[in-house]
Structure 1
Amino acid sequence: MEILNKEVVEATRKKFDEEMKEKVTLLLFTQEPSRLTVPDHLKGQECVFCKETRELLKEVSALSDKIELVIY
């Protein structure tokens, strides 16, 4: 599922092409979903939006050759 619609992609790509002078590295520190049961004292520490954040940054980084996405 794409997060960015066609209009946003086109406008952002154009802005990047016109104004991005240097290469940029995006660093994403994330967690993989776990099938393990989390103890009560750790509840609420799960990454609620990790999947969506990863997808969004992949879409953004695909808009320019000057953007590198590194996922940890």
Structure 2
Amino acid sequence: MPAVEEKKVPKRAPLPANLPRREIRHEPDSTTCACGCQMKRVGEDVAEKLDYVPGVFTVERHIQWDGRPHLVPSL
């Protein structure tokens, strides 16, 4: 039986560093977990989106808060 070849997904090239960037932070409304304990920031997820207003390219950096309750052990 021939080996199954995995489909290669092409990666998008990073947006050029010389384009102006605008940060858009998506913070949670509350950092209190449903159990009542305080959430701890463990990182951020960043996605960049190319935006075009006639004559000007900009990059929107969407930064989303990533956290978990402080009582949950690290994975």
Q: TM-score, normalised by structure 2?
A: 0.28
Q: Larger strand proportion, structure 1 or 2?
A: 2
Q: Which of the two has greater helix per residue?
A: 1
Superposition TM-score, scaled by structure 1 size:
0.28
